[in-house]
Amino acid sequence: MMSGTSLDGVDAAVLETDGIDILGFGDTAYRPFTAAERTVLRAALGRWPGEAGVAEAAELVETAHAELIARFQGVDMVGFHGQTLAHDPGGRGTHQAGSGDVLAEVTGLPVVWDFRSADMRLGGQGAPLAPFYHHALARHLRLDGPVAFLNLGGVANLTWVDPGVPAPEHACLAFDCGPGMAAMDDLMQARRGVARDEGGALAAEGTVAEAALARFADQAFFRRVPPKSLDRAAPVPDVAGLDDADALATLAAGVATGVALGFEHFPAAPARLLVSGGGRHNACVMAMVAAACDCPVESVEAQGLDGDMIEAQAFAYLAARVARGLPTSAPGTTGVAAPVGGGRVSRPEG
């Protein structure tokens, strides 16, 4: 299960796996957050356990996930990411609201959770965590040569994988590459009172503010060698003085710029870029990413996958790896000192 930085809701997906290979895809479901629930979560962003609003946010997250789990039958184990409220590598650590202990008792199922803490205790960034699943997908699809995956959530992250190398800890490079859709969604909420620019229609009407984009691209983050990660407050172009359409166009260009600059860190050129996450529905962002990258860019649906459920499936895959004591991150994905298995398992009493 996955509740991402876009704060839109909870995705759930059944995956049949032994934590190494993908054996089959099962049912999926989505539970959106209401406007009132998003308000509660937004109020808790950037806060740590014990601070105002955090307990309310955690209860909301637990309730939403429990409601969604109840829709599924025959599940052996749950991978529960929780809702990231704060992420500070090298500082206070990471904070995902929601308790796996509570969810295990409510659902009666074993719950794997707290995926990031062990990685960060050993010097890793704690993010991104989907790369090992991307590697499994590339092997499952029998893709040739290096392939890159782009997740366009609230933050954008890239994974480069070589499916010809069987062990993911030796075949992946991954990092957050820049802003995703969070800033565009926030602008629409603040200026127009709606959740997003549907399909990128308004962004497509705008003109990119090239000076603001150039200042954005000049930030040191983009030249920093991975590993590197961002929280929801990723750097974005300054669009404060622009009208809505121009602001959205410039923010979309910022997403594409971060992706293109990320390609400079890959060990070899990928044969294709496969895009998942909600941002792939924004035609303006997708067009800008395609124009900025020197390889074919396509939604993961072109490979028969469900782009809305990749991250939920990833945490199912990671849950199986945790249960088997397999690594979930490595130096090439989070910068951790050595391959490490994160996560802990909560079981219902009895």
Average pLDDT on 185-200 reads 96
Query: pLDDT value at position 127?
Result: 87
Q: 83-97, 101-115, 183-197, 284-298: which has the minimum mean pLDDT? A: 83-97
pLDDT above 80 (res 182): yes
Residue 321 is encoded by which pair of tokens?
């790896």
Q: For 92-118, write each residue's pLDDT tens digit.
A: 899 999 999 999 999 999 999 999 999
Average pLDDT on 250-257 reads 98
37, 78, 209, 267, 324 from 46: Cα distances, Å: 16, 26, 29, 34, 33
Mean pLDDT of the chain: 96
Average pLDDT on 174-182 reads 95
Q: In the structure, what pLDDT confidence band is assigned to residue 89 with cuts at 50, 70 and 90?
A: confident
Query: pLDDT value at position 350?
Result: 67
Q: Which domains does the chain have, with CATH numbers?
A: 2-125+309-346 (3.30.420.40), 142-303 (3.30.420.40)
Burial of residue 266 (CB within 10 Å: 0-12, 13-18, 19+) is: middle
Distance CA 107, CA 99 (A): 12
Average pLDDT on 267-288 reads 97
Average pLDDT on 260-272 reads 98
Is the CA virtual torsion 163, 4, 177, 116 positive or negative? negative
- Which residues are paired to 346 by β-bridges? 111
**Strands of the sheet with 297-299, listed across from one edge:** 172-179, 155-161, 147-152, 273-276, 297-299
Query: pLDDT value at position 335?
Result: 94
Average pLDDT on 295-311 reads 96
Query: pLDDT value at position 90?
Result: 80
Residue 229 is encoded by which pair of tokens?
């990660």
Calculate ∠ Cα 255-120-277, nearest 5°: 30
pLDDT above 80 (res 232): no
DSSP strands (E only) in 48-133: 78-79, 83-88, 93-97, 111-113
Query: pLDDT value at position 229?
Result: 83
Query: pLDDT value at position 186?
Result: 94
pTM over 0.95: no
Query: pLDDT value at position 178?
Result: 96
101, 322, 346 from 349: Cα distances, Å: 10, 20, 9
Q: Could you tell me which of 236, 314, 338 has the C-alpha nearest to residue 13?
A: 314
